[in-house]
Structure 1
Amino acid sequence: MRHFILAWLLGCCVAGAANAADSDDLQAMKGSYALADGRVLYVSCHQRTLYAQIDAGPEVALKAAGGAVWQSAKGDLRITFQQHGNGVVSGVQLVARRE
């Protein structure tokens, strides 16, 4: 599993301009990421749409928010992928707004 930083925000997530990612980028982002609190973030791709799921929770569709940042439609979940120039993703930063 890959490392990443789990952060919680009480405010709103910043939305950016949506950018389309190509199929190779989406494939590189897929995988499982160990959360600091022991949970697991799963990232999958179905029909050119990226999805995030924490443990056995519901899958949440993500949209491009600019660069390596993806977020849910509501803006309550934002994931920044730490992607190297060669396309390899070494981790993510997850920011979720508590409800």
Structure 2
Amino acid sequence: MRRLATKLHLACEQGRKVLAVVITAGQRGDSPQFPVVLESARVPRTGPGRPRARPDPVLADKAYSSKANRDLLRRRGIRPASRSRPTKPPTAARGRIRLRCRS
């Protein structure tokens, strides 16, 4: 019997208050949901006025660090603060790293 799963994609402020929730099927990827979550997030103002749709920085884990997501943030004028995925070292350096790890 196959079990059904769901994923919750959240946008939260630093105080851990939830700003947006998107629920998807469990087998769906994280990165394609980033624009949907970002679009539905609204940053409340301290005084009167409507909520801001553009946060200052966006922190995210490595699942959301694709070039397309980072470009989306830059187009909207938002500073991406998520860590990018590490790139593989050049082929020559990989052998040295492997040898260092073995010793």
Q: Which has the higher helix share?
A: 2
Greater RCO, CA 8 A, separation 6+: 1
Rg (Cα) greater in structure: 2
For the aligned pair, the TM-score class normalised by the smaller chain equals: under 0.3
TM-score by length of structure 1 reads: 0.25
Q: Which has the higher strand share?
A: 1
TM-score by length of structure 2 reads: 0.24
